[in-house]
Homo-oligomer: A and B are copies of this chain.
Amino acid sequence: MEMHDLLRELHERAETKIVLLVADGLGGLPVEPNGKTELESARTPNLDALAREGACGLSIPVLPGITPGSGPGHLALFGYDPLQYRIGRGILEALGINFPVGPRDVAARGNFCTVDSAGLITDRRAGRPTTERCQTMCRLLQQVRVPGLEVFVEPVREHRFVVVFRGAALAGAHQELGDRVNDTDPQQTGHKPLEAKGADPASQNTARAVNAFVTEAARLLKDQAPTNMVTLRGFARYPKIDTLQELCGLRAVALAVYPMYRGLARLVGMEVADAGATLADQVEALRRLWSQYDFFFLHYKYTDSTGEDGNFAAKVEMIEHLDEELPKIRALDPDVLIVTGDHSTPSKLRSHSWHPVPTLLWSPTCRPDPVTEFGESYCLHGGLGQFQARYLLPLAMAHAGRLGKFGA
């Protein structure tokens, strides 16, 4: 919170442009003893030039040893303490399908499941239905009405869907929806779905709505075995977050292909532009929107997905592809250009990891450091040191001449 108070107090107007290029899961590990990481193995002349001219370091997304999901990882890069601002599973799920969640919403992840004639769950995933069937079932559930609030049901895929409960716009405590509601999924077969209960009055409002929804859903799905029942979990309120505009005076825009990252950007007040389907499209959108914004968030997914696949060579290739697009970004003459990741995804581990993330900040106001190539080992000697990722945005603001002096 202290950093946010400083940003709010010190931010200044400037005609400068900041580009934050997030290569999802960028950090990696060598596979062989004495080997190189994916980033160190990739041929990246453009990233290396930025590293030579700029400052490098390793960012710690949350705290040492903590492996972040995409939510906390991105919030940190946007300047928010991910321990302070927690984005619940339901909200993230809604963001992931591009559902426009808002401040009156409580979102939950839904699962279709199968129950027997006694109402006991026999399959928690309803035999993994096709996504098409999921869509059909969700259309059925869209008929459910709960008095006093709005309910939205949207398919995700297979047995998964999203439910959003939206409180009435009227003022009054009885309308408020809380998210301290237990999962109705009993986590094992042979049991009935659990009744929802709220841990405080606002959450009791939600729990009543949830139970009404589930009762009606059960009625509508009665003859639809194996998708003849639902469980709901991960109830989460829309988080209260000061926007980048409020904190930093930044007009920010997200150029992201995948919905979840667009949603995360929207949470912190970024506008979300049509970014096409490829990095080249995103860079073209960047060029097109250059004059309209101060801050540009570009999200590149494939460094993460290849890491999750355990495909070292493919991750190297995706990094090289990213590198090739950099001259087009530099040609726009940004004042600050950052390349980093929201976390590491070593292909050796096939998953997100806790390892610090190679980070590069290029700007004419950088103090140069001895780093000559962009890679994990090189970044160890970088001028940014090892630092908490949530300090990256203030650093960007400073290098962009957008932060005034603290104290006289």
Contact = CB atoms under 8 A, between A and B. Distances in A.
A403 interface: yes
A34 interface: yes
Given A65-B403, A68-B407, A69-B408, A83 B2 contact: yes
B386 A367 contact: no
B407 A72 contact: yes
A386 B386 CA distance: 9
B66 A403 contact: yes
Given A381-B381, A385-B385, A6 B408 contact: no
Contact of A63 (B27, B33, B66, B391): B391
A361 to B, nearest CB: 10
A380 B92 CA distance: 39
A148 B351 CA distance: 59
A95 to B, nearest CB: 10
Contacts of A92: 407-408
Interface centre among A349, A367, A407 (most CB of B within 10 A): A407
A146 to B, nearest CB: 26
Nearest to A351: B405
Contacts of A407: 68-72, 82, 86-87, 92
B380 A380 contact: no
A397 interface: yes
Interface residues of A, number: 64
Interface centre among A351, A399, A403, A406 (most CB of B within 10 A): A406
B403 A82 contact: no
Interface in A7-39: 10, 27, 29-30, 33-34, 37
Interface string A34-71: 10010000000000000001000010001111111111
B386 A377 contact: no
Contacts of A72: 406-407
Nearest to A62: B406
Contacts of A377: 368-370
A398 interface: yes
A290 interface: no
Interface string A67-87: 111111000000000110011
A366 to B, nearest CB: 8
A34 to B, nearest CB: 7
Interface of A: 2-3, 6, 10, 27, 29-30, 33-34, 37, 53, 58, 62-72, 82-83, 86-87, 89, 92-93, 348-349, 351-355, 365, 367-370, 376-377, 380-383, 385-387, 391, 394-399, 403-408
12 contacts: A6-B62, A10-B66, A33-B53, A34-B368, A64-B391, A64-B395, A65-B394, A68-B407, A69-B405, A349-B365, A355-B367, A386-B387
